[in-house]
Amino acid sequence: MKRLFGARGSGKLENSKEEVEVHLRKTHSDERREEDLEECEKLATPEEPKEQFDESELKFKEVQDVLKKARAASAQGSNGIQYRVYKNCSKLTRRLWKLLRVVWRRRRKMIDAWYKAEGCFIPKEENSGKVAQFRIISLLNIEDKIFLAVLAKRTTRFLLSNEYIDLSVQKGDMPEVSGCIEHTSVLTQILREEKGEEKRLSSTLARSC
């Protein structure tokens, strides 16, 4: 795969802190974000939901399910805690669940630290130096990732139960759909062509979370 799609990126960020901040502000800011949008007739109006959104209190099993699927060695956020801490300490997991329930009861207000993330710059090509040659990964703390994962699952369940999502169009991140079908088809075609031309091909498979 590396031979087909290019070598792994390398390099060191050479921009100053001020230059990076200007780039981030330009890339991720919207000067018109506070403007009200006019009504758009092209947007479809969904029917009233047959099943209501699950607003019940956070369940311990929901937290356990998130931890079960999470990769133990996933990169940690600013507090330095990895998933493995909660995976291996059941009493600590239960304590976390109780604290998350308090946040859940607050409804519209999350913990201030959850609005912040550690930025990690990953080079996109060889000998990268300028900030535009790097992609940014935001590393959140594990605790808010667990909380938001539960909320995301409930949102997905609400959308699917009311048929607001067309599974023939949207496949990514849908339950019981094994990966992205389009990506799988592309990789299958590449492998078939390489095999037909009797080329040597090596691949590195990794699960990201």
Q: Who has greater pLDDT, 181 or 22?
A: 22
Is residue 135 helix, strand or coil? strand
- Average pLDDT of 50-64? 95
Domain assignment of residue 149, yes or no: yes
Domain count, the chain: 1
Domain assignment of residue 199, yes or no: no
Domain assignment of residue 118, yes or no: yes
Residues in the chain: 209
Domain assignment of residue 108, yes or no: yes
Is residue 157 helix, strand or coil? helix
Q: What is the structure's pLDDT at 201? A: 61
Highest mean pLDDT among 3-17, 49-63, 156-170 belongs to 49-63
Residue 208, H or E segment? none
- What is the extent of the structural domain holding 89? 10-15+55-164
Is residue 193 helix, strand or coil? helix
Nearest-angstrom CA–CA distance, 158 and 175: 13
**What's the DSSP call for residue 11?**
B
Beta bridge partners, 118, equal: 139
Nearest-angstrom CA–CA distance, 70 and 146: 9
Alpha-carbon distance values, 164 to 22, 50, 156, 175 (Å):
39, 11, 10, 15
Confidence of residue 106 (pLDDT cuts 50, 70, 90): confident
Confidence of residue 203 (pLDDT cuts 50, 70, 90): low
- Average pLDDT of 148-175? 86
Domain assignment of residue 87, yes or no: yes
60 exposure class (CB count in 10 Å sphere: 0-12, 13-18, 19+): middle
Task: Name the percent of the chain lying above pLDDT 70.
Answer: 84
Q: Who has greater pLDDT, 55 or 183?
A: 55
Domain assignment of residue 123, yes or no: yes
Confidence of residue 76 (pLDDT cuts 50, 70, 90): confident
Q: How far is CA 64 from the centre of its chain?
A: 19
Task: Name the percent of the chain lying above pLDDT 90.
Answer: 39
Domain assignment of residue 112, yes or no: yes
Long-range contacts of 111-117 (CB under 8 A, 24+ apart): 111/144, 113/78, 113/79, 113/141, 113/144, 114/140, 114/141, 114/143, 114/144, 114/147, 116/78, 117/77, 117/78
Confidence of residue 9 (pLDDT cuts 50, 70, 90): confident
| Amino acid found at 30 | D
Confidence of residue 196 (pLDDT cuts 50, 70, 90): low
Is residue 203 helix, strand or coil? coil
Domain assignment of residue 32, yes or no: no
| pTM of the predicted model over 0.75 | no
Q: Who has greater pLDDT, 77 or 109?
A: 77
Q: Who has greater pLDDT, 40 or 187?
A: 40
Beta strands in 19-153 (DSSP E): 118-123, 134-139
